[in-house]
Amino acid sequence: MSDFARRLVRWQARAGRKDLPWQGTRDPYAIWVAEIMLQQTQVGTVIPYYQRFMQRFPDVARLAAAAPDDVMRLWSGLGYYSRARNLQLAARAIVARHGGRFPRALAEIERLPGIGRSTAAAIASFAFGARAAILDGNVKRVLARHFLVEGFPGEPAVERKLWSLAESLVPARGVEAYIQGLMDLGATRCTAQRPACGRCPVRATCGAHAANRVSELPAPRPRKRVPARSTVMLVLRHGADVLLEKRPVTGVWGGLWSLPEIALAADAVKDGRADVQCAIVQRFGVQVRRVEPLAAMRHAFTHFTLDIRPVLADVAAVDRRAGERGAVWLPLAEASGAALPAPVKRLLLRLAASTGGDQPSLLEEAVQDL
């Protein structure tokens, strides 16, 4: 065992995290769900989602048999929704191809939808004691700093070097403690901002610490101009109900329910209410009483920002086009608890608060998810 691994294992036993809801189990299903939720999401955010998800879907068979809308509703607000879709696709593959038993072989785990090389290794290590290397974002940062690896970790050549390092460091024994220690180090000591070098168990051998380059490594992503997009979202309100549409499975917010969108210029939304009314009538066949622009919102995705211009439209009557397949009228409180994108949920919560009245606990709970 290398000195790096030995120090990590000892530190993890003394100071590492041991009370997370998915720890202390060999159940590959529970470990898998946690690892998927933890992709690009902090532990504190994941814990309540994980607990609700496991209570509703305690095993792979129930996840496989669930209605996709039920899965997406429990994921709503956690982001990166393809993870939820792939989770259920993988559950169905486990039932169909493996008789409902989670595969043990690393290669078989990696073939499941939504499971990459590092996630497969974490599952195999924690569930089956397999000797395998992980390389998530936190681990890339730890290795880049400790071994002075130059370059942006997302570049193929740099990533290959980090994988080679990661594989060479995995000990022959104590793999689970080592992997957990590596995760804990990146999450609680060797953090992206304000790293706690004074409490790091491998500080004595850290190249970045010795060279005073901790803040420089790993190299940041090369700067690119982040494009901006815009959309007009319609809050069609008929009495106490609002209209939601099911988004396509692929693309932004795939498979979630959302507010309808129309293509209109910003000036039309701000000043040309007649144009907005006309567009609503043409698309939905509703009688519009009044149209009111709401406060604009901005939502940041990984590769672009979305400027949302919401419009509230009170309608007097509806026809079948506004409630066709893939669209549904729901009471505002119930709509707020559906599988919605975070900015849409936030918008409906604001609307519910502005209209007054008591809302069910699900509405209050949704506030915590934003």
35, 110, 245, 261: the active-site residue: 35
150 labelled catalytic = no
Joined tokens for residue 149:
């690896």
- What are 25-34's contacts with CB under 8 Å, separation 24+? 26/126, 26/127, 26/128, 27/127, 28/102, 28/123, 28/127, 28/128, 29/59, 29/60, 29/102, 30/54, 31/122, 31/123, 31/126, 31/127, 32/90, 32/102, 32/115, 32/123, 32/127, 33/87
Q: What's the CA gap between 245 and 282, in Å, rounded?
A: 17
How is residue 331 written in tokens?
Answer: 């009471």
For 282: left if phi > 0, alpha if psi spans -120 to 50, otherwise beta; the answer is: alpha
Burial of 70 (0-12, 13-18, 19+ CB in 10 A): middle
Just list the catalytic residues: 35
